[in-house]
Amino acid sequence: MFGEKAAKGGFKTIEVFDRRSMTLDELAVYPLFTPEFLAWLKRSIPPAQQDRIIYTAHIRGKKDGHV
């Protein structure tokens, strides 16, 4: 999705790499999420989706033109 957004932003050379899934349990290391929120998230998202609904990636691009 970010690749599409970057293309809409004007970038033509775009690379997505280092894509990794992030489980709901892995979100627990972030202090932004309370245990109560994570428990609610687990109840709200079907178990079959919980380990693959979130992923992380790096996106790299270049503004085309003379260097």
Partner 1 sequence: MSLTETEIKESIIDTYTKVASNGRLVAERFYSPEELQGLPTSAVELALGVGNPARHAALQRGEVVLDLGSGAGIDTLQTARKVGPTGKAIGLDMTPEMIRRARANANAMGMTKVEIIDGPMEAIPLPDASVDVVISNGVINLTMRKSQVFREIHRVLKLGGRFCVADMLVNGELPEDVLNHPTAWTG
Interacting residue ranges for partner 1, rule: CB under 8 A: 1-2, 5-6, 8-11, 17-18, 21-22, 27, 29-34, 37, 40-41, 44-45, 49, 52-67
- Terminal CA-CA length for the chain: 28
Q: Please, what is the minimum distance in Å from the beta carbon of residue 26 to partner 1?
A: 9
What letter would DSSP give residue 20? E
Q: Is 62 left (phi over 0), alpha (psi -120 to 50) or beta?
A: beta
CB of 47 to partner 1, least distance (A): 13
* Beta carbon nearer to partner 1, 47 or 63: 63
Q: What is residue 31's three-state secondary structure?
A: coil
